[in-house]
Amino acid sequence: MPKFNRLKECVVSNKNVIVRVDINVPIVDGIIEDDTRIKAVLPTLQYLAKNNAKTILIAHFGRPDGKFDDKMSLKLILHRLQELLSPIRVSFIDDCIGDKVRNAVLDTKYGEIIMLENLRFYKQETDNDHEFSAFLASLANLYVNDAFSCSHRSHASITGIPTILKSCAGLQMEYELDNLTNLLENAKKPMMAIVGGAKVSTKIDLLKSLATKSQAIVVGGGMANTFLHALGYNVGKSLYEKDLKDTSLEIIEIAKINNCEIILPNDVVVVNEFKAHSPHSIKSISLVNDNEIIVDIGENSIQKLLEKLQNFKTVLWNGPVGAFEIKPFNRGTESIAKIIADLTDQKKLLSIAGGGDVVSALNGCDLAKKFTYISTAGGAFLEWLEGKELPGILALNKQNK
C-alpha cells in the first residue's frame, strides 16, 4: 500500500481545509433512502471543526454531465448533513468556482463548514482540468481525500488538487485502506467470493483475479445468467451478455486450473414480467422457458450455499444475487446475508462486503453491523480487490511530494 499523509499528522487549526467526500446517496422523491455514506464522513468533518479548521466540502451527486440540474444539487443533502453535524454550522453556496464562491469561503468562520455545489455540474471536473483544480486548491491550505469510493477516478477533485496542495487521507479513507489491506493480507483460507450484480463485463478482471486467490466463487445476479447461457442453458428473457460466452468459459477454465470452484444456481426464481407483485415460480435451471425472466436464486441453491458457507473461513462479497430491491426477490440475498452475519457473530467467519447495492441490501435487513468489514465503495473497491493502483491513492503518496 502506498505511504500517505494522515489527517492527524497535519496542522489544521486556523487553516482552510478542502475535503473531498462521497455523499452520492440514493434519493427518491426528495427523501434520502440510505445515508450510510454521509455518516461515514462525519468523523473527519467533526475532527476538523473541533480543531478550528475552516472546512470547504466538495463532492458530486449523480451524473449531470457538466450541466446544472436542480435534481442533482447538493442542497438536497444539506439538511441531513446539518442534522447529523449539529451544532456545527454548515452553509451552502450554489456554485463551486468564481468570486461568489471565494467570498463565501472568506465569510465562513473557523470551526464551520461550507459545502460547494455539485462538482460534476462542470465538465472540467471529470476532464481533470488544471484550471478547475487550481481554483479549488486556491481556496485552501490543505487537501483531504475522504472519498475512497471515488479514488479510482482521475478527476480534478481527486488527482488534480493534490498536485498543487499538501494532501492527506481523511479518517474514513484511512479506515478503508487500513482495514482492507489488513483483512485481505490476513484472510484465512479457505476463502469464498460471492460476486453478483448485473453484468460480467464490469467484473471480468475481478473474476479472473479471484479465480486465482479464492477456493470458491459464487456467481449470482444477472452475471449468473451470462455464465449459464455460456454453458448451454436457456435463460429466457433474462438479462445476459451474449458476447461474453467465451470470456465466461475462460473464467471457468482459470478457476479449474487454480482449484477454485465456480458455484452457479441450480434452481432459480422466474417471472413473466419484471415488476413488483408479479407471479413467480421456482424452476430448475434446465427448465427455464423462452418467455421467463430470472430474478433470484431458488430455494435449493440457497440451501446448498448455506451448507457450503459452513466450511469457509473468509467470505468476500460484491453484488446481490438477485433483484433484491423488489420483494420477494430479495430472499436469496437476504438469506446469504443472514448466515454470513450469524457465522461472523459466532467468530467462525471473517466477512468483507463492498459496493453500494450490497451495502443497501445489508442495511435493508439490518445486518451490516454484524459483518467484519463493510466498504461503501463500488468501483474503487473492485479495482482494489483486482490489485490495481487507484489514482486517488497514488496522488496522496508521500513519495510523490
pLDDT, tens digit, 9 for 90 and up, residues 112-167: 999 999 999 999 999 999 999 999 999 999 999 999 999 999 999 999 999 999 99
Q: Given 355, 356, 364, 378, which residue is catalytic?
A: 356
pLDDT tens profile 307-316: 999 999 999 9
Burial class (CB in 10 A: 0-12, 13-18, 19+), 361: buried
Q: Given 15, 75, 245, 379, which residue is catalytic?
A: 379
% of the chain at pLDDT higher than 90: 82
227/97 Cα distance (integer angstroms): 47
pLDDT tens profile 343-376: 999 999 999 998 768 888 888 888 989 999 988 7
Contacts of 291 (CB under 8 A, 6+ apart): 236, 237, 272
Q: What's the pLDDT at 398?
A: 61
pLDDT tens profile 41-81: 999 999 999 999 999 999 999 999 999 999 999 999 999 99
> Which CATH number goes with the domain that contains 103?
3.40.50.1260
Residue 199 bears catalytic tag: yes
The predicted model scores a pTM of 0.85
Same domain, 230 and 311: yes
Lookup: cell for 175: 479506515
Strands ordered across the beta sheet of 261-263: 261-263, 216-219, 191-195, 314-318, 350-354, 373-375
Let me know how many helices (H) and strands (E) the chain has, helices first: 15, 17
Q: Which domain holds residue 295?
A: 187-385
Same domain, 272 and 381: yes
- The domain boundary, picked from 173, 199, 220, lies at 173
Q: Given 75, 199, 313, 338, which residue is catalytic?
A: 199
Same domain, 45 and 84: yes
Is the pLDDT reported for residue 400 higher than 60?
no
Lookup: cell for 224: 449468473
Residue 379 bears catalytic tag: yes
Number of structural domains (the chain) is: 2
Asked if 74 and 157 touch (Cβ cutoff 8 Å), the reply is no
Is the pLDDT reported for residue 273 higher than 70?
yes
Residue 380 — very low, low, confident or very high, per pLDDT cuts 50/70/90?
confident
Same domain, 164 and 199: no
399 domain residue, yes or no = no
Q: What's the pLDDT at 160?
A: 97
Q: What's the pLDDT at 86?
A: 98
pLDDT tens profile 150-165: 999 999 999 999 999 9
Q: Given 37, 54, 153, 203, which residue is catalytic?
A: 37
Q: Phi, psi at residue 219, to the nearest 5°?
A: -105, 125
Same domain, 121 and 219: no
Which residue type is seen at 303? Q
Same domain, 362 and 219: yes
Q: What's the pLDDT at 189?
A: 94
Residue 348 bears catalytic tag: no
How many whole angstroms from its chain centre is CA 310? 27
